[in-house]
Structure 1
Amino acid sequence: MTYDPASANPLANNPLKTREDMSLALRDLFDPLLPYFSAGNARVRLDGAAAHFDRAAADLEGFARPLWGLAPLGAGGGDFKEWHRFAEGIANGTDPRHPEYWGTVNGRDQRMVELAALGFALALVPEKIWEPLGGRARDNVVAYLKHARQFDYADNNWKFFRIFVDIALDRVGANFDRSLTRQYLEELEGFYIGDGWYLDGNVRRIDHYIPFAMHFYGLIYSKLVDDDYAKRYRERALLFANDFKHWFGADGATIPFGRSLTYRFACAGFWSALAFADLEALPWGEIKSLCLQHLRWWKDKPMTNRDGILSIGFGYPNLLMSENYNSAGSPYWAFKAFLPLALAEDHPFWTAAETPPVETASVLPQRHPGMVLMRSDGDVVALSSGQENLQMRFGTEKYAKFAYSSRYGFSVESDERNFAGAAFDSALAFSDDGLHYRVRETNREAKLAGEVLYSKWSPFPDVDVETWLVPAAPWHVRVHRINTPRPLQTAEGGFAIARRDFELDMLAAEASSACAIGEADFSGILDIGSQATRVGLAQKAPPNTNMIVAKTLVPQLRGEIPVGQTILMTAVLAANDTTAVTGAWKNPPKAPDIGELEELVASQGVTVSAFKAPGQMP
């Protein structure tokens, strides 16, 4: 082979055990960008694909985002020979008379996002990118930052971006209106919901933006500023760490969930930020393990293009799953994972021996994101009550499936007119014409009762569905009560597993079950007592729909439900063990009593924080 996608990954041969390993990883990931710096070094353009914002802002994104890792490297005394590019680029990018000027901010603008990285770098390594500048260039930088900060930032984690600009302005001795800083700090307080958890704005969703944005920025702030807000950020991170550690499997994989997954190992950013902030929220050996093991998980993933440039995608290059705001430079938010490079070699993060977090119960309810986490054979499955994101591309798949797995990820669909061929992993789909389909997009209710999740939703305005999700590790059970005024076709999917070439996988489909056995994995779905007949199908899902692997198999149950009320009961199993077909698969859980589930929700059910109506959070 002339091209091996995995070996093109700059992390492929790095053990990622030590500070020097991490430094080398950062430089190896950054170096492929060098040929794409513009002549004046203010812009980095990686390909012709577009985001919703203008090209100059996309070029700024490619320039600025690596600073989340490079600034810590410089602060920690690491060797980096390209600082002159960033000093020159900042000078030219903020100069209205230069052809590489980044453009003027005239309202809510992507430039606001990228200036946070610039503000962070100015605060952390002014000797690299500020002190080399002449007087006029310095004036331009200050004027550019001050102009941008006068506009209103989005009502979410963006508010931290102006705060980081303000920290930089303070560090370089500029005069500015500090009351605006205080205003945003206070407004950010409105997103806190308790127990270490935030919402990212007035929205019905809690995803990786909580650790790699809200906590990440708060912890950096707590290191750079000493005030009451800094103390709150640290206290909240202590609480959050004990919940978030359960989102990671023993192999370092985290649960892919929500938007912006192209930021990849930014998912380790929370652990990196704890180290940067000198906050031992867990024993240092556990924090180090969570951070580095997650980086190691990416070593064999074909996540880059041939030249080593991080692609848009997750486990592999995939524009299909991207957001409208993803430009080619977007994935470099992944550099947030490199914050520990600011720490000296004798910091306990580096001197501690890695120790995997102690695993507690195999089933862990988390009210705020509306999840019940299950651990089994290294996989972490998050049963999900269902959140809401109707604005983003594939927001339904990213937030409203029944389950998300650290090993099997989830899939987005590629054709809304393909009911017969769609993946529908961890979803229940309805069709009234056999062509178009509807799945859960949002809920009217979402509750957690002990270890059981409950939701009420409507795929069509005249169809009501109630769903109970019950852990039965390594299985989970789904109970659906459907009321419809017309017959509907249904399709319900299990987990998607990797599909091999040459049709080497074993597929089985029967009257009430379906399963697939791949090279390393088993996936199955079983009807355990529905009021409608369903037939098994081992679906060969459309390519490039799954987050982690490009070709997948999804076992499904399909059938028609009549007018009136129908109850569907489903058991789902997936395992990194092909012998599960003669083991766990032969011992399915029993169908639960729906009356007992109703009583449990009525007596113990609490509304999931992520799904409280906007404006109802404290």
Structure 2
Amino acid sequence: MFVLDLPEDDRSLSPHTGYTRAHWEATADGLLRAALRFATPHHALLDLPGPPSQSGVRSDGLEGFARTFLLAALRGAGAYGKDPNGFLERYTEGIDHGTRTPGRDDAESWPLIGHHGVQGQPMVESASIALGLRLTAPWTWDALTPDARDRTEEWLRGALRHAPAPNNWYLFQLTVAGFLESVGRGDAETARAIDRPLGLLDGWYQGQGWYSDGDGRAFDHYNGWALHMYPLLHAHLAEDRALLDRLGPRLEEFLDGFALLFDANGAPIHHGRSLTYRFAAGAAVALGALTGHTPLAPGTTRRLLSGALRHFLDRGALSADGILGLGWYGPHAPTVQRYSGPASPYWASKGFLGLLLPADHPVWTAPEEPAPVEGPDRALALPAPGLLVQTTASDGLVRLHNHGSCKVRPWEAERPPAEPLYGRLAYSTRTGPTSADNIPDNHIALQVRGVRSDRLRIEPLAAGPDWLASSHTPLFPPGGPVLPAARLDSLTLVRGRLELRVHRTVNIPAGTTVHHTGWAVALPPGTATETDATDGAPEVSLAGAEVTGQLLGLHGWDTSRTVRAPRGTAYGTWALVPELTGTVGEDPSGTLFAALASLTGDPGPAPLTGLAAVDVSGHTVTVRWPDGTRTVVDFGDGGADSVPTVREETA
């Protein structure tokens, strides 16, 4: 069984994680040694064990080479070329052999780069190879023969001559072109490949430090590990002060909120696609320190980075062979995208970006400081991406309420089912969404003729300091019911660990069944018991090993129950989900539903019953809290275009 050879914890310098730069270097070395056992004889491909991706075995082998080369490059560049393990020499040999006869079906040749959707995956990998070469040029590029450099350039230019996916893929072209220009091989083609992505990036910028991943409203970890990372790292390496001044403040503003999305236990928020990249989530945190555009103290930066790395190493992210497997901790199929192959998790290499900081940088020498989540309770509304961050100091838990991020492009039809990692109302650092095959957690759905609706395109409605509201069209699977002009408006307001969830129906027929679910809690199968519906919608409480989820109907709900999710979540192989059920009323202007939810890591949380009382009048919900304050959620006159408002009142 493979075991990382790590130094002893240093609890003096790093009281929170025990990790120092030496731990990062040892982890990088261990990951590389484990992966390189699967290289072809001349190291051009790494055929890691596991089922192939949709791109095929040869593309997967290139992916294994490219993504681990990026790790070797960060390790080698951070050590100023010192490479006692000979990693860079092996990768240089692999580049030489992989580019000799590209496209040939032999033991070493790299696949040619094609258009997205037609042999496009090599374009993704070309960026890692180009970036690795740029970081290590004195020890890799310069070590290649002139002929090998020409062949490598020609192969890389395939990324500039084919169509990328309409999203962060354009930054792969920028990265390739930036490398070619850095070694004196720039021309009009490379200039266009830099200017075009930067222009698109400005169009995708939505404010508050957040980019959408292409046109539309897809906000997730790609914002940090791709949309900020590639252009800003290019600007840093090129010493392009104008571009740094243009993009750097966006990164700094992003980090001000993003830093809250790391749990006290180190976990990043479990939301969005490609989560198998794991501690790559820290790439933007390291990038802020590298470029000088960060609001975080050096000790806080290391706390976040090392917390994320240790979180996954301690929880089984490495297989018995020392390989990063597909999943979150251990293998977990619902976490994996269709495009993922055995080597895909090695985009986690981006998490090692901090190694580019010299050993005497304050990020490595300053004592660790607490993570932002370990400060006071926070409620941070981010209207630009439509995300509401909720943290609690007592348990270090992070919840992310989603009222704006969705994986539907402007030109795409809304077609159920929704992607579980985008369509839910809320996500956290200790729970994962249930599989698409099971009941959805944190969801609001209609049920018509036995079929439940889905939440796909999410339209932000309104925002306040501690609340967000959005709207969506409830859609049913193809061939299912169609409700003309139907709409569900949803609002989340947070207060400490509590979540007030209010929903309004618009143009939905009276008598329609409405279901609302809370947090999915992973439980051992032998202790997890599904309950039947209970009249009166009493509180449902589910206590797992790390969290307790609670859901209480306040208004409009007739019954409550727990429902099993036998495919579990990334946090356990079996889970239960609390559910409330109600019925749309006769008022043609719509029906209001209100619930109180909680997810906490504190043991033995108090019941939700008694923590809030509600009065409903027309389209206004007034919530009375135990401290005597009142929250008034007003949906106005109930018209189809009315937008909710929230005001706080004292008794």
Instruction: Within 5 Å, give how 1:101-116 maps onto structure 2.
Output: 101-108=109-116, 109-116=120-127
Q: Which moved more, 1:553-562 or 1:17-26?
A: 553-562
Which residue of the other structure, out of 136, 141, 144, is the alignment partner of 1:125? 136
**Take 1:280 and 1:575, find their aligned partners in 2: how far apart are those partners?**
30
Contact 2:381–2:468 (Cα < 8 Å) also in 1: no
Cα distance, 1:437–1:50 mapped onto 2, change above 3 Å: farther
| Aligned counterpart, 1:542 | 566
Contact 1:272–1:291 (Cα < 8 Å) also in 2: yes
Q: Which amino acid aligns with 2:457?
A: T
| Aligned counterpart, 2:626 | none
**Take 1:118 and 1:393, find their aligned partners in 2: how far apart are those partners?**
37
Q: C-alpha displacement at 1:317, in angstroms? A: 0.7
Contact 2:434–2:567 (Cα < 8 Å) also in 1: no
| Aligned counterpart, 1:533 | 558
Q: C-alpha displacement at 1:396, in angstroms? A: 3.2
Cα distance, 1:148–1:516 mapped onto 2, change above 3 Å: closer
| Aligned counterpart, 2:479 | none
Q: C-alpha displacement at 1:355, in angstroms? A: 0.7
| Aligned counterpart, 1:459 | 474
Contact 1:494–1:525 (Cα < 8 Å) also in 2: yes
Instruction: Within 5 Å, give how 1:147-226 maps onto structure 2.
Output: 147-177=158-188, 178-180=190-192, 181-226=194-239
**Take 1:585 and 1:172, find their aligned partners in 2: how far apart are those partners?**
63
Which residue of the other structure, out of 402, 422, 428, is the alignment partner of 1:384? 402
Query: Do residues 365 (structure 1) and 381 (structure 2) align?
Result: yes
Contact 1:499–1:505 (Cα < 8 Å) also in 2: no
Q: C-alpha displacement at 1:269, in angstroms? A: 0.8
Q: Could you say what secondary structure the match of 1:572 adopts?
A: strand
| Aligned counterpart, 2:419 | 396
Q: C-alpha displacement at 1:147, in angstroms? A: 3.3
**Take 1:30 and 1:394, find their aligned partners in 2: how far apart are those partners?**
39
Q: Which amino acid aligns with 2:114?
A: N
Number of aligned pairs?
Answer: 587
Instruction: Within 5 Å, give how 1:17-32 maps onto structure 2.
Output: 17-32=19-34
Q: Which moved more, 1:205-214 or 1:592-601?
A: 592-601
Q: Which amino acid aligns with 1:519?
A: A
Cα distance, 1:294–1:12 mapped onto 2, change above 3 Å: farther
Q: C-alpha displacement at 1:8, in angstroms? A: 7.0
Cα distance, 1:48–1:405 mapped onto 2, change above 3 Å: closer
Q: Which moved more, 1:144-153 or 1:59-68?
A: 144-153
Q: C-alpha displacement at 1:408, in angstroms? A: 1.8
**Take 1:102 and 1:550, find their aligned partners in 2: how far apart are those partners?**
38
Contact 1:520–1:576 (Cα < 8 Å) also in 2: yes
| Aligned counterpart, 1:442 | 457
Q: Which amino acid aligns with 2:550?
A: G
**Take 2:329 and 2:279, find their aligned partners in 1: how far apart are those partners?**
11
| Aligned counterpart, 1:569 | 594
Q: Which amino acid aligns with 2:228?
A: H
Query: Do residues 354 (structure 1) and 368 (structure 2) align?
Result: yes
Contact 1:11–1:299 (Cα < 8 Å) also in 2: no
Q: Which moved more, 1:182-191 or 1:403-412?
A: 182-191
Cα distance, 1:269–1:10 mapped onto 2, change above 3 Å: farther
Cα distance, 1:551–1:176 mapped onto 2, change above 3 Å: same
| Aligned counterpart, 2:285 | 271
Contact 1:58–1:327 (Cα < 8 Å) also in 2: yes
Q: Which moved more, 1:567-576 or 1:436-445?
A: 436-445
Q: Could you say what secondary structure the match of 1:533 adopts?
A: strand
Q: Which amino acid aligns with 2:163?
A: D
Q: Return the TM-score normalized by structure 2.
A: 0.83
**Take 2:180 and 2:89, find their aligned partners in 1: how far apart are those partners?**
21
Contact 1:52–1:324 (Cα < 8 Å) also in 2: yes
**Take 1:22 and 1:393, find their aligned partners in 2: how far apart are those partners?**
42
| Aligned counterpart, 2:577 | 554
Cα distance, 1:592–1:471 mapped onto 2, change above 3 Å: farther
Q: C-alpha displacement at 1:338, in angstroms? A: 0.6
Query: Where does the alignment leave 5 or more consecutive residues of structure 2 unmatched?
Result: 10-16, 410-414, 476-481, 621-631, 637-641, 647-651
Q: Could you say what secondary structure the match of 1:407 adopts?
A: coil
**Take 1:360 and 1:241, find their aligned partners in 2: how far apart are those partners?**
18
Q: C-alpha displacement at 1:592, in angstroms? A: 6.3
Q: Deviations over 1:280-313 (max 9, x none)?
A: 5321111111111122222332323332211111
Instruction: Within 5 Å, give how 1:270-289 maps onto structure 2.
Output: 270-289=284-303
| Aligned counterpart, 2:68 | 66
Cα distance, 1:331–1:12 mapped onto 2, change above 3 Å: farther
Q: C-alpha displacement at 1:10, in angstroms? A: 8.4
**Take 2:440 and 2:615, find their aligned partners in 1: how far apart are those partners?**
24
**Take 2:200 and 2:528, find their aligned partners in 1: how far apart are those partners?**
56
Q: Deviations over 1:421-468 (max 9, x none)?
A: x3321112333243x422222235533244332222222441432222
Query: Do residues 143 (structure 1) and 166 (structure 2) align?
Result: no
Cα distance, 1:570–1:120 mapped onto 2, change above 3 Å: same
Q: Which amino acid aligns with 2:42?
A: G
Q: C-alpha displacement at 1:578, in angstroms? A: 3.6
Query: Do residues 94 (structure 1) and 94 (structure 2) align?
Result: no
Contact 2:462–2:643 (Cα < 8 Å) also in 1: no
Q: Deviations over 1:58-102 (max 9, x none)?
A: 221111012332212101225432223211211122222662222
Q: Which amino acid aligns with 1:455?
A: S
Query: Do residues 406 (structure 1) and 429 (structure 2) align?
Result: yes
Cα distance, 1:239–1:560 mapped onto 2, change above 3 Å: closer
Cα distance, 1:401–1:305 mapped onto 2, change above 3 Å: same
Cα distance, 1:542–1:488 mapped onto 2, change above 3 Å: farther
**Take 2:308 and 2:531, find their aligned partners in 1: how far apart are those partners?**
32
Q: Could you say what secondary structure the match of 1:148 adopts?
A: coil
Q: Which has the higher contact order (CA 8 A, sep 6+)?
A: 1
Query: Where does the alignment leave 5 or more consecutive residues of structure 1 unmatched?
Result: 415-421, 606-618
Q: C-alpha displacement at 1:184, in angstroms? A: 2.9
Identity rate, percent: 27
Q: Could you say what secondary structure the match of 1:547 adopts?
A: coil
Cα distance, 1:478–1:280 mapped onto 2, change above 3 Å: closer
Cα distance, 1:290–1:16 mapped onto 2, change above 3 Å: same
| Aligned counterpart, 2:341 | 327
Q: Which amino acid aligns with 1:135?
A: P
**Take 2:597 and 2:8, find their aligned partners in 1: how far apart are those partners?**
37
Q: Could you say what secondary structure the match of 1:569 adopts?
A: strand
Q: C-alpha displacement at 1:543, in angstroms? A: 2.2
Q: Which moved more, 1:344-353 or 1:510-519?
A: 510-519
| Aligned counterpart, 1:612 | none
Q: Which amino acid aligns with 2:93?
A: E
Contact 1:508–1:515 (Cα < 8 Å) also in 2: no
Q: Which amino acid aligns with 1:264?
A: R
